[in-house]
Amino acid sequence: MNETQASEITASENKGRLLDMKSLDNPRAMKLYRRFDGIIILVLFMFLVLGIQIHFTLTAGDWDYWIDWRDRRWWPLVAPFSLLIFIGPFAYGLWARVRLPIAGTVITLLLCVVSWVSRYLNFYEFTHFPMSFVFPSTYIGLGILLDCTLLITRSLLVSAITGGALFGALVWPLNWSFMAASKVPVELNGMLLSVADLMGYQYIRTTTPEYLRIIEESTLRTFGGSVTPLTAVFSGLCGIVVYGLFLWIGARVNQLEIFSKRIV
């Protein structure tokens, strides 16, 4: 392609963009756009609901199904990783294309809603587990923080550093408000258990034996046993890397030719 051809394409594209802008003053065009917006919302809703449910089930499933899996070390690492992998590309797309900082909130909100539906129908109604044993975690607050850092800083890089760190670090305190009760101590046959452990023992899971749980397995045991804050810091650092990486993947996907067609 020579220089003359390139400038011709640019001129043509600029003309198209001016036409697009003019259409925003046209009530009939705006009416049409709103209808298309409705379709986009519907399609995005279906895709994100199914996508996040399948993705989260495959990557963090049991950690979120049972309260006796949500330990202080692995669950606060696994859950934000899983979510940031999914949120990253959508956050980039929605910001770069339409400047909407909503990907984190929408995805965590939909995950919460679909998890409640799944836990109620599949776990409570169909397989008889009590809701007090299988209630989902919430990540909505983390999604809002992620989106708001992008909105306030208007920078993907800064939001990846601050938002990614907050997303990873605050999983435990966000959920502690309704999870603390499950960590109250009980005694069974002379053995110390938390209420969550006891429920995991009493409510039988034939194919999920006790040893499958990964409870605080690692060698990060410094700082006087301060497991929760240490994990939060580590999870925050990893959140920055994971979110940054998947924002970059989102950027690469957005550069594909299919995303650069003119609308009008």
Partner 1 sequence: MKTLKMKRMGVSGVLAGLMLVLLAGEVLAHGERAQLASMRMRTVHWFDTKVEPLNVKVGDIVTVTGKLMTSEWWPKQMASIEDTVYLNIGVPGPTFLRLHSEVNGVPMVRSTAFPLGKVYEYKTVLRARVAGRYHVHPILNVKDSGSLVDKGTWLEVAESDSTAPFTNEVTTMLGDTIDLENYALGDVYGWHLVWLAIGIAYILYWLLRKELFIPRFIRVRAFGQDRANEIITKKDFVAGGVFFTLTLATILGGYLWAEHKYPITIPLQTGKVDVVPIEVPTGDLEVVVDSASYALAGRSLTMRVNVTNHGDSPIRISEFLTANIRFLNPNVTESEIYPGEEMVAKDGLSVSVDAVAPGQSVAVELVASDALWEQYRMTGIINDPDSRFAGLLFYYDDNGERFFQEVGGAILPAFF
Q: Please report, as residue ranges, which positions from 181 to 210 form the binding site for partner 1 (by CB under 8 A).
A: 181-199, 201-207, 209-210
Write the binding mask 72 to 91 for partner 1: x where contact by CB under 8 A, - elsewhere: x-------------------
Q: Hey, which residues between 118 and 177 contact partner 1 (CB under 8 A)? A: 127-133, 135-136, 138, 140-141, 143-145, 147-149, 151-152, 154, 170, 173-174, 176-177
H or E, element range at 55: helix 27-65
Nearer to partner 1, 3 or 25 (CB): 25
Give Dmax over CA atoms of the chain in angstroms.
Answer: 85
Query: Are the CB atoms for 150 and 163 separated by under 8 Å?
Result: yes
- Beta carbon nearer to partner 1, 7 or 202: 202
Residue 80: what residue type? P
What tokens does 194 get? Answer: 């938390």
- Residue 163, amino acid: G
Asked if 68 touches partner 1 (CB under 8 A), the answer is yes
For partner 1, what does the binding mask look like between residues 13 and 52, x meaning CB under 8 A?
Answer: ----xx-xx-xx-----x--xx-xx--xx-----------
Kindly tell me which residue out of 1, 256, 258, 263 binds partner 1, with binding defined by CB under 8 A: 263
Helix/strand/coil (H, E, C) string of 88-140?
A: HHHHHHHHHHHCCCCHHHHHHHHHHHHHHHHHHHHHHHHCCCCHHHHCCCCCH
Tell me the closest approach of the beta carbon of residue 223 to partner 1, in angstroms: 15
Minimum distance, C-beta of residue 81 to partner 1, in the bound complex (Å):
20
Tokens 């301060």 identify what position? 226
Residues touching partner 1, count (CB under 8 A):
96
Nearer of residues 54 and 152 to partner 1, judged by Cβ = 152
| Cβ neighbours, 10 Å, residue 81 | 20
Q: Count CA atoms within 13 Å of residue 205 on its CB side.
A: 22
For the record, the structure tokens of 181 come out as 């009760």
Left if phi > 0, otherwise alpha if psi is -120 to 50, otherwise beta: which for 261? beta
Question: Which residues from 219-258 bind partner 1, rule CB under 8 A?
Answer: 227
Residue the block writes with tokens 């400038």: 7
Instruction: Give the nearer residue to partner 1 in terms of CB position, either 2 or 176.
Output: 176
Cβ at position 13, least distance to partner 1 in Å: 9
The yes or no reply on residue 92 touching partner 1 (CB under 8 A) is: no
Which uninterrupted H or E stretch holds 159? helix 156-169
How near is the Cβ of 20 to partner 1 at its closest, in Å?
Answer: 4
Residue 211 CB, shortest distance to partner 1, in Å, is 4
- In DSSP terms, which residues pair with 17 in a beta bridge? none
